[in-house]
Amino acid sequence: MLSRSDLWSLEDYSEMRSTFRKEVLAHKQHRRVQIGDAMQLIFEDRLTIKYQIQEMLRIEKVFEAEGVQQELDAYNPLIPDGDNWKCTLLIQYEDVQERQRRLKQLLGVEDKIWLQVGEGTPVWPIADEDMDRANEDKTAAVHFLRYQLTPENIADLKGGGTVTFGVEHDAYASNPVQVAEEVRLTLMSDIG
């Protein structure tokens, strides 16, 4: 968890923002998983969430203790707990009309993106614990997912088990994706 003492003042952040942003972008390099043409998972951790909070405080010009605490309370739940992975799902279609059409077709997809460690049983996500982002007509373009790993998943992972992601939704055709070893090692570092 992050606390106020982990954050920089708006003035300090302004001075170091460019350097910190480069650090975070490099850090995220092995935290991304692309599934098909339009879905990307970005796995969060303490550093990525610190960046999100600092950016929100900067954009909203929040510096009072209560406002800072509200941002911490909103974003801290996105930091993995040692036995799970937490990620942001981005559904990306550049053309606005295509995006609107596809989001209607992809209703419920946030619950259909599985992961598998080694030959284990697929793990299904717990989506949008903070708030429902879809409605009865369409899904949202951004979701927050939590993958709760079992002790068997963790043992398989530590034993060198592969990590594979896939989407099981009638409106999204894609092949399962086995993550690169660099991504697997990065994700493994989130497990306590």
Q: What is the DSSP letter of 169?
A: B
Please give the average per-residue pLDDT across 164-174, as a whole number: 95
Q: What is the DSSP letter of 172?
A: B
Q: Give residue 134's pLDDT.
A: 64
Mean of per-residue pLDDT scores for the chain: 95
Q: What is the DSSP letter of 64?
A: S
Tell whether the model's pLDDT for residue 114 goes beyond 70: yes
Tell whether the model's pLDDT for residue 22 goes beyond 90: yes
The conformational region for residue 61 under phi > 0 = left, psi -120 to 50 = alpha, else beta, is: left
Q: Give residue 128's pLDDT.
A: 83
The structural domain count of the chain equals 1
Cα distance between residue 159 and residue 141, in whole Å: 35
Question: What is the span of the domain harbouring residue 52?
Answer: 4-188
Confidence of residue 130 (pLDDT cuts 50, 70, 90): low
Ranges of H-type helices in 29-149: 46-60, 65-75, 96-105
Of 110, 100, 97, 87, the residue nearest 179 (C-alpha): 87
Tell whether the model's pLDDT for residue 154 goes beyond 70: yes
